[in-house]
Amino acid sequence: MLRIDDTIISLELLDEHFVCDLGSCKGICCIEGDDGAPLEDAEVKIIEDLLPKIWDDLTETSKEVIRKQGVSYIDDDGEPVTSIVNGAECVFTYTDEAGVCKCAIEKAYREGKTDFYKPISCHLYPVRLQKYNEFTAVNYHRWDVCNCARTLGGKLSTPIYRFLREPLIRRFGEAWYEQLEIADAELKNRK
């Protein structure tokens, strides 16, 4: 484990390899699972405000779920998560012309309709954050649906933290990320 500021970081972020391979997995992480994607409290309001800009990209089933329960619900851990369809699929998922499941929120961002990229938990995946009183744990989450991402990451020799450079900086800042790079270089020099 590494400590940077108020975070404790799993060494797996430096040692394990990962690069999303949407051509292989077709975005299955958006449609598999037991709960929606974790949301920070402020993100719920942002997504509610953004809803009119993404409404036309959502499926009719997703729209019905949102009408009934809203954009999020509280999971068994007492945390807000995105609403889901049929106990698995995120309500913000749409399928593109190639059959790849993608995020309607990210699509709106890419089209310049919003400055909100997507929930930070989605942007950071396969990293999951766990908040404690005095620090935030930054851990690698393994999921079988991402086997192709581990394979591609290995072929490209891309450590998780390098693949996640943009979202890690978004969440923790440039200086934090630079400290992570320094720690990685120092640890590799010791081997």
* pLDDT, tens only, 135-178: 999 999 988 888 999 999 999 999 999 999 999 999 999 999 99
pLDDT tens profile 121-147: 999 999 999 989 999 999 999 888 889
What is the distance between the alpha carbons of residues 127 and 118, in angstroms, rounded to a whole number?
15
What is the distance between the alpha carbons of residues 175 and 143, in angstroms, rounded to a whole number?
30
121 located within any domain? no
Select from 77, 93, 116 the last residue of a domain.
Answer: 116
Does 112 lie in the same domain as 169?
A: no
Query: How many distinct structural domains can be found in the chain?
Result: 2
Does 134 lie in the same domain as 69?
A: no
CB burial readout 17-42, b (16+ within 10 A) else e: bbbbbbeebbbbbbbebebbbbbeee
pLDDT tens profile 44-64: 999 999 999 999 999 999 999
Select from 116, 145, 179 the last residue of a domain.
Answer: 116
Does 69 lie in the same domain as 5?
A: no
Does 148 lie in the same domain as 110?
A: no
Does 68 lie in the same domain as 39?
A: yes
Does 47 lie in the same domain as 5?
A: no
pLDDT tens profile 14-43: 999 999 998 888 888 888 877 889 999 999
166 to 25, 53, 63, 169, 174: CA distances (angstroms): 22, 24, 30, 5, 9
100 located within any domain? yes
Q: Which domain holds residue 166?
A: 1-18+126-191
CB burial readout 162-175, b (16+ within 10 A) else e: bbbeebbeebbeee
Does 112 lie in the same domain as 38?
A: yes
48 located within any domain? yes
